[in-house]
Amino acid sequence: MTPSNKTEADWKKKLTPERYRVLREKDTEPAFSGQYYKTNDQGMYVCGACGQALFSSDTKYDAGCGWPSFYAAQDQGKLELHDDLSYGMHRIEVTCSNCGSHLGHLFDDGPKPTGQRYCINSLSLDFKKDK
C-alpha cells in the first residue's frame, strides 16, 4: 500500500465530521460511545481513513475502559508511535503508518504476553468480519 498523499480537504470530503475530528484532529470519542468496544466477532480492524489492516480480533480484549483495546498490533510496521504531551500527561499516540491518521494511545498496562494496551477509538476503525 503506498502512503496516502491526500490533503486535509480530501479527508474532509471523504470522512464524516465525527470521524474527521478523531482521525485528522486527534479528538477522542467519549468512552462507551463507540461502535466496537463490545464487539467479539472474528475479523480484522482496519484504518477508518485508508483501510490498512491494523488489529486482529484475536488480540482484542475487554479492558473495561470503553474503547476497543488490543494487546498487540497485527503488524508493528503498520502503526507509528509519537510522544503526546497534551493535557499535562505523557502518553504515546498511535497513528496509521499509511495515512498518518490518529487512532488512539498505547499504554503499558495490558495483559500478557505483551503487557501492551492499544486503546483505539471506534471512529478510527472499520471492522471486516471473517466470512
Concerning whether 50 is annotated as a catalytic residue, the answer is no
The three cell numbers of residue 10 are: 480530501
73 binds Fe ion (CB under 5 A): no
Q: Does 95 bind Fe ion (CB under 5 A)?
A: no
> Pattern of binders to Fe ion over 25-54, x per CB under 5 A?
----------------------x-xx-x--
Q: Does 74 bind Fe ion (CB under 5 A)?
A: no
d(CA 25, CA 124): 11
Catalytic residue among 47, 50, 96, 119: 119
Nearer to Fe ion, 101 or 121 (CB): 101
Partners of residue 125 on adjacent β-strands: 47
d(CA 58, CA 94): 19
The Cα–Cα gap between 76 and 89 comes to 24
Cell of 86: 497534551
Q: Which residues bind Fe ion (CB under 5 A)?
A: 47, 49-50, 52, 96, 98-99, 101
